[in-house]
Structure 1
Amino acid sequence: MTGAMDGHAEDRGRVYQASGDQHISEHHHHHGERGDEPAGLQGPDSVRRPAVGRPPVVLRDRAEVLDRLRSSVREGHGGEVYVLYGMGGSGKTAVAYTLFQLATGEGARVGLWVGASDRASLRAGMLAVAADRGAGDAELLAARNGLRPAADLVWQCLDRSAEPWLLVLDNADHPEILRDGSWLRTSSRGTVVVTTRRPAARWWPGAELQHIGVLPREDAARVLRDLAPHSGNEQEAARIADRLGRLPLALTLAGGFLSQQVLDPWTMETYGRRLEEGEGIELIDRGADTLSEEDPRHLVGLTWQLTLDAFEARGLPEATALLRLLSRFAPEPLPLSLLNRTEVDGALPRARCETALRALLDQSLTELVDVGERCVQSHAVLLDSVAAATPADLVPALHTTAVRLLDAGVPRVPDAGPDDPGLRLLVPHALALLRRAGDPSVSADAVALATRLATALHRKGDYLSACETARAAADLGERWLGTEHRHVLAARSRAGRALFRLGEYPSAEELLAHVHAAQERLFGAEDPDTLDSRHGLQLVLGNLGRRDEALSLLRSTVTGRRRALGPAHPLTLRSRSSLLVLLPASELAAEEDGELLSLPTECVRHLGPDHTVTLGAHHNHAWALYLLGRFDEADQEIRLVADAYRRRFGPDHPLVLSAQQLLSRTRAAQGDVSVAVDIMTDVVARRERGLGAEHPFTVAGRRLLAELSSGG
């Protein structure tokens, strides 16, 4: 982008301008501190031309918005105010510019463009509008000197305009200056369009508000291709657009950079790779036209700094503090409940969090979204910009606070239960903390948090999310902690457990065996983490048909957990319960009067009748009774377990389906084959939907169903 500057400023005036597709420009005229330059004395060079530097090459998307706006500038229409709002860089000015061209072209309207970023610019621009619409020199001089109300003069001239008009008030990010002077009014002779970052309806009574957000993926890719058509294909452009959050300003700068390269042109593939390698905001901003050092506000990295400075000036430092805290998280929905906790005090006083959040919402720096839970969501480029500009001495406290907030949102001891979409909302934020981490101690806490979150997802039956979360946490944690850190190994172990539940038995065995060996070498054979991996490994081996190896590992796990955790610990009881499944009928028969077959009673005594481990012990005990040929007892017990599971977890939870499968066996053993077939038909259908047709559990279910159906 090599176009010349269209804007200019004199004396202390400054013009911040960027060029290119989806361009946004802001003009700020600052007068002398001692009033040496009367406000409004110097007017703009033109109000008939939009002060936008280089206009968009093509305005992508926005068709629905433009159709609605275009109808307002057709013949016979007037008296309307439209407010285009959105975050900085979203293309509000580009939409207004395109409408301006339509109105002055096909609509045959007079177009009037006023920069409304500050009082002086607004006043000077509006008086220039009055002059354009017929105000005399004496009237203008009286208004400039304060001898008559300036806004009244402007609107009298607009009301008596012989031609219909479109008035654009651009960059009205301080709507109070419009209200204080009563500058924003309506007239039957024309239409007003305002661009702003301030969406609150109280600023715009009677106006129609229109949000201008990021572009759809396909259109965002086309913006890059419009500017740099020879740098890559649509797929590569779409990947870069995703990485840039489809923000028009960022896309414009990226396309500008790609189009500027002469000696060593970059491809989109190269650009995308450099973004992924962490160059981020600095690389994006290299796409801007070269400006003097004191004119940097056209950069993505600084486009929101004006608002942050305004927070400080208005006595709202907590708004900046909250935005910096949000920049530790991901650009995904973040549950509002997390911000309403005492742990937020590490970044800003909890009592001021409400005020801070309202300020961010008011400036379109974040938005409220409802995804089944009320959340706040901020744009990726904004968060990256704020994170990059956060003073280094503030980062440790912000990161620690973010970890503690998420930590408070994850169950301390994850338990089995129904699907919980709220837990999945936390996953991208837990991983974002690891990506932004720089301190090993904070990284260790973040890995432990992500692993506990993966465990919670696993217990809810969401094995895929659990696996991906644990694996990503381990990969990210290795950067700061190394491959053999306790928390990294624990995350790998959790990923292995999830792989088993996903039916990836060989991969699960390989991973768990590797982790178990490392933990045993580093921490000892009876370390709780080692024992946890050993318990998981025996599950895999048992399902691979290697019963003897699995039983040996399980017995050592029981012994180790007895010594390390005590005989009544839930994990000890869980491992002992697993013996009821793994032991053959001959050994179970020898246990007829032993403690193993009385384990459910022991679990009730230590944990209570409704504890998940207690229910699991009843489940496994019913299997043991089935193997021993005690079908009536087994049927009664598994019925109770299946009913309890269904009430707690819902009909599709893996534990429910496992209990139902055993119930079909006990029903068939008692001669009720038709009921058994109905039960297994339902189990197989649910497993196919939840796990897939080729999952080992589904395959085993189909095999059992075939046996029952054939009377085998």
Structure 2
Amino acid sequence: MSVPRPMRGHASGSARIYQTGGDQYIEEHVHHYAPGSAPLFGHPWTGPAEPRGTAPDSVRMPLVGRTPGVLRDRTDLMERLRAAVAGPGGGIQVLHGMGGCGKTAVAQALFTEAVRDHGRVGLWVNASERVSLRAGMLAVAGDRGAADGELAAAAGGQRAAADLVWHHLDHSAQPWLLVLDNADDPAILEEGAWLRPSPSGTVLVTTRHAASPLWHTPGVSSHRLGVLPLEDAALVLRDLAPDAGTRESARKVARRLGCLPLALTLAGAHLAHQLLESWSMDEYDRKLSEESTALVDRGAPATGGGHSRHLVGRTWQLSLDGLAEGGLPEATALLRLLSFWAADPVPLSLLMPAAQGGIDELDRLDPPLTAGRVEPALRALLDHSLIDLVETDGHRCVKAHGVLLDSVATGVPDAERELLAGAAGRLLRAALPREGAASPRARSQVRLLAPHATGLLHRSHRHGLVTAESVRIAARVARLVYEAGDWTAALALASTAAKTAAEHLGDEDPATVEARSGQGPVLFRLGRYAEAADLLRPVHQDALRTLGPHDARTLDAAYELQRVLHRLGDLAQARTLLETVLDGRRHTLGEDHVATLKTRCEMLELRLAQDEFDGYTTAAEELAGDCERRLGPDHLVTVWARDALARGLLRSGRGAEAEDLFRRVLAGQRAGYGDDHPLVLGVLIQLSRAQHAQGKREQAADSAREVAEQRAAILGEEHPETVAARAWYAEVRAERPAGP
């Protein structure tokens, strides 16, 4: 098969990009030096992919690595799927089968044909985790024409994300094929209503889950994918290692591996990339027989849900044994490390500190994974198809099959589990961008790392290795996802961290308090005030009892609780809490700290809500000056302080001064958030009120109309803020003088 449109590669310096047609069998993505000497870590890839609208490149390209040059068998299935894609649209096709049976390979082949032969826009989303699914689907909406403001509102929970995505898919000017790959937890699709038919295109889902009610609804066609017929399975081996044996020998190995495509691929790659020995397929068959007995002796299941893991385990263990005999035992340690994260793409930057040294836990493995051995171990895993090199959102990544990682994880010695979990956590923490980093590069990095925080937490939970550090890492990632604007995904991760911490560490452990408190700001932004209050009240009490009133975490919990109480109308209790927070932050952090200045801004907002005007303007002017001197004129907290001052000026009847200051605030908000962010629209409506207070009816009406239209586009017509903006616009328009 040929690729339907040019694949866009980017290289810098002496880098070169190798691309092939067919099923996009990619030997190497990037070489920074001459072939054979290119280090994966020596010069990190620094140039993000050229943007196409708001969608990352990966949404238009399958997130897979190497696939067979020839898709064996599957003829009847491919004909049925081709007919669905060539039709008018509206159908949902589900491929289900055990892990490693080739569902993704079929999806990629169909994807390539749909774009090349049928003129479809190909869209590919990793549906294995909530974070990757949401990010991918919002990228699909951006690709199909959603505005930045609409995407920000959907990510922030102010507009139903799935509704936005499917609105733009339904109204796409071009027909499309949307692949939802690795949807092994259908509940993720169901809870967000992510799976829908559309007259404009076809949806293809790949999943290990065969019995979900989602697959039995009108418009869904389900296709079971099993192992290959024996003859085709033998041909897969001979495709990969044509000189390793006869057709009959290939049949024997294929039969031994249960004709499972993933196991066949691993076996063929091993036979084609042997280092010191040159096994024939007959010799490989004998080795498989010995390894099969050893695995069963170790308790590996040979039937049921573990059957595919058992088959795959027999192949990767032989490959790793061969690498160890060839002088690369570290390949085993590296693959075990990867098994403590998710099956999503792992950025090479995540492994960089391991390649540079200084990760004590890796040095204590047997054998140790020392700095100088990470690069050759990584290349060996790539050469033997145990991992693949892929690129997503401008980041070079490696990716392993989920079945392979599950199989590897079950074989980790008990003595090394704690070391590997600790190393995985340290590497993840080191790769996280700093809080408050708002660049597109930082946001894409958070999207890539979030599934691995979840994966580490799940793996640690399964083996009783949950620590305060692993909980804090997950809670911090949740905070970064929240800051990146995906509030729904942030809440899911924060809730998982809190639940896991409570189960393993107890309710009163400081890490548990932090994790539970981290859910508060997300619920607040989602407008779920009562729920946030019910959560934060006991968290605050637990923090007071276990950490003390002056601990920063206690003050953080109190700050989040008072914001919620403010919105619920309990202004007196909010004021009491906020005064405690302000005194505590002044004492522990100092007057110049950004958290102290934010608390002072919050206090001004609360004073306005309580109609406390005595000395308000003087206090607001002093705060704005302090923020500008200590944080700079463009810092968002400085902008927030100016907004508080402008509101005070407006309430005191100084409309002209308020208008001038609101214009500065508006410029600062747009610079910080973007033109269409809801916070920007909140400032714009205040500008309209300032204009109205001065009798500038025409200008006030224009500003009010802009707010009403943009809120309707971003939040929807039924949102309370849209309703309020419509009402204000109607009031101002009714007062506007009629034209001549």
Where on the TM-score scale, by shorter chain, does this alignment land: which range?
0.5 to 0.7
Unaligned runs of 5+ in 2: 1-71, 84-98, 106-224, 252-263, 285-298, 363-368
- Correspondence list, 1:442-521, <5 A: 443-521=467-545
The change in CA–CA distance for 1:100 and 1:420 in structure 2 (over 3 A counts) is closer
Task: Give the alignment's TM-score, normalised by structure 2.
Answer: 0.57
1:619-666 deviation line (CA, Å, top 9, x unaligned): 222222222222222222222222222223322334333333333332
AA aligned opposite 2:339: S
AA aligned opposite 1:305: Q
- Give, in whole Å, the separation in 2 of the partners of 1:122 and 1:709: 84
The change in CA–CA distance for 1:485 and 1:287 in structure 2 (over 3 A counts) is closer
Q: Choose between structure 1 and 2 for higher RCO, CA contacts under 8 A separated by at least 6 residues.
A: 2
- Give, in whole Å, the separation in 2 of the partners of 1:409 and 1:424: 12
- Indicate yes or no: 2:632 matched with 1:620: no
Pairing partner for 2:454 from 431, 450, 471: 431
Secondary structure (helix, strand or coil) at the match of 2:269 reads: coil
1:522-575 deviation line (CA, Å, top 9, x unaligned): 222232112112211221222223333322322222122222322222111111
Please say which of residues 527-536 and 416-425 is displaced more in the overlay.
Answer: 416-425
1:54-98 deviation line (CA, Å, top 9, x unaligned): xx998884559999xxxxxxxxxxxxxxxxxxx965499988747
The change in CA–CA distance for 1:616 and 1:282 in structure 2 (over 3 A counts) is farther
1:100-123 deviation line (CA, Å, top 9, x unaligned): 69xxxxxxxxx9998799999616
Pairing partner for 2:629 from 587, 598, 605: 605
| Deviation (angstroms), 1:389 | 0.6
| Deviation (angstroms), 1:287 | 6.2
AA aligned opposite 1:337: S
Secondary structure (helix, strand or coil) at the match of 1:639 reads: helix
- Correspondence list, 1:693-708, <5 A: 695-708=719-732
The change in CA–CA distance for 1:113 and 1:66 in structure 2 (over 3 A counts) is farther
AA aligned opposite 2:386: L
1:642 corresponds to:
666
Pairing partner for 2:323 from 297, 311, 316: 311
| Deviation (angstroms), 1:428 | 1.5
Contact 1:580 1:623 (C-alpha < 8 Å) held by counterparts = no
| Deviation (angstroms), 1:512 | 1.5
Contact 1:119 1:177 (C-alpha < 8 Å) held by counterparts = no
| Deviation (angstroms), 1:502 | 0.6
2:388 corresponds to:
367
| Deviation (angstroms), 1:330 | 0.9
1:353-409 deviation line (CA, Å, top 9, x unaligned): 333333222222222333323332222221111111111222222212211222122
AA aligned opposite 1:457: V
2:245 corresponds to:
122
AA aligned opposite 2:245: L
Pairing partner for 2:268 from 157, 168, 172: 172
The change in CA–CA distance for 1:301 and 1:414 in structure 2 (over 3 A counts) is same
1:329 corresponds to:
341
Contact 2:342 2:452 (C-alpha < 8 Å) held by counterparts = yes
1:401 corresponds to:
423
The change in CA–CA distance for 1:701 and 1:484 in structure 2 (over 3 A counts) is farther
The change in CA–CA distance for 1:316 and 1:682 in structure 2 (over 3 A counts) is farther
- Give, in whole Å, the separation in 2 of the partners of 1:124 and 1:597: 85
| Deviation (angstroms), 1:180 | 13
- Give, in whole Å, the separation in 2 of the partners of 1:457 and 1:511: 20
| Deviation (angstroms), 1:499 | 0.8
- Give, in whole Å, the separation in 2 of the partners of 1:476 and 1:172: 41
- Give, in whole Å, the separation in 2 of the partners of 1:382 and 1:332: 12
| Deviation (angstroms), 1:688 | 5.1
1:205-240 deviation line (CA, Å, top 9, x unaligned): xxxxxxxxxxxxxxxxxxxxxxxxxxxxxxxxxxxx
Secondary structure (helix, strand or coil) at the match of 2:245 reads: helix
Contact 1:344 1:401 (C-alpha < 8 Å) held by counterparts = no
Secondary structure (helix, strand or coil) at the match of 1:584 reads: helix
Contact 1:114 1:125 (C-alpha < 8 Å) held by counterparts = no
- Give, in whole Å, the separation in 1 of the partners of 2:591 and 2:339: 46
AA aligned opposite 2:376: T
- Give, in whole Å, the separation in 2 of the partners of 1:683 and 1:574: 26
The change in CA–CA distance for 1:624 and 1:368 in structure 2 (over 3 A counts) is farther
The change in CA–CA distance for 1:127 and 1:182 in structure 2 (over 3 A counts) is same
The change in CA–CA distance for 1:298 and 1:587 in structure 2 (over 3 A counts) is closer
Q: How many residues align?
A: 490
| Deviation (angstroms), 1:700 | 4.2
Question: Cα RMSD over matched residues?
Answer: 4.5
- Give, in whole Å, the separation in 1 of the partners of 2:235 and 2:469: 57
AA aligned opposite 1:388: T
Secondary structure (helix, strand or coil) at the match of 1:368 reads: strand
Contact 1:455 1:466 (C-alpha < 8 Å) held by counterparts = yes
1:456-503 deviation line (CA, Å, top 9, x unaligned): 232333322222221111112222112222222222222121111111
Pairing partner for 2:375 from 345, 354, 369: 354
2:403 corresponds to:
381
AA aligned opposite 1:410: L
2:677 corresponds to:
653
Pairing partner for 2:443 from 404, 408, 420: 420
- Correspondence list, 1:173-192, <5 A: 173-174=269-270, 176=272
1:82 corresponds to:
none
AA aligned opposite 2:387: T
The change in CA–CA distance for 1:286 and 1:125 in structure 2 (over 3 A counts) is closer
Please say which of residues 589-598 and 364-373 is displaced more in the overlay.
Answer: 589-598
- Give, in whole Å, the separation in 2 of the partners of 1:176 and 1:417: 43
Contact 1:285 1:300 (C-alpha < 8 Å) held by counterparts = no
Contact 1:88 1:303 (C-alpha < 8 Å) held by counterparts = no
1:399-429 deviation line (CA, Å, top 9, x unaligned): 1221122212223443566792331222211
Contact 2:340 2:455 (C-alpha < 8 Å) held by counterparts = yes
Contact 1:581 1:623 (C-alpha < 8 Å) held by counterparts = no
- Correspondence list, 1:209-220, <5 A: none
Secondary structure (helix, strand or coil) at the match of 1:376 reads: strand
Of all paired residues, the percent bearing the same amino acid is 38
Q: Which has the larger radius of gyration?
A: 1
- Give, in whole Å, the separation in 2 of the partners of 1:463 and 1:297: 35
- Give, in whole Å, the separation in 1 of the partners of 2:565 and 2:265: 70
The change in CA–CA distance for 1:352 and 1:503 in structure 2 (over 3 A counts) is same
| Deviation (angstroms), 1:327 | 0.6
| Deviation (angstroms), 1:586 | 8.5
Contact 2:338 2:405 (C-alpha < 8 Å) held by counterparts = yes
- Give, in whole Å, the separation in 2 of the partners of 1:671 and 1:540: 36
1:27-50 deviation line (CA, Å, top 9, x unaligned): xxxxxxxxxxxxxxxxxxxxxxxx
Contact 2:266 2:316 (C-alpha < 8 Å) held by counterparts = no
| Deviation (angstroms), 1:577 | 0.9
1:567 corresponds to:
591
- Give, in whole Å, the separation in 2 of the partners of 1:394 and 1:340: 21
The change in CA–CA distance for 1:663 and 1:398 in structure 2 (over 3 A counts) is farther
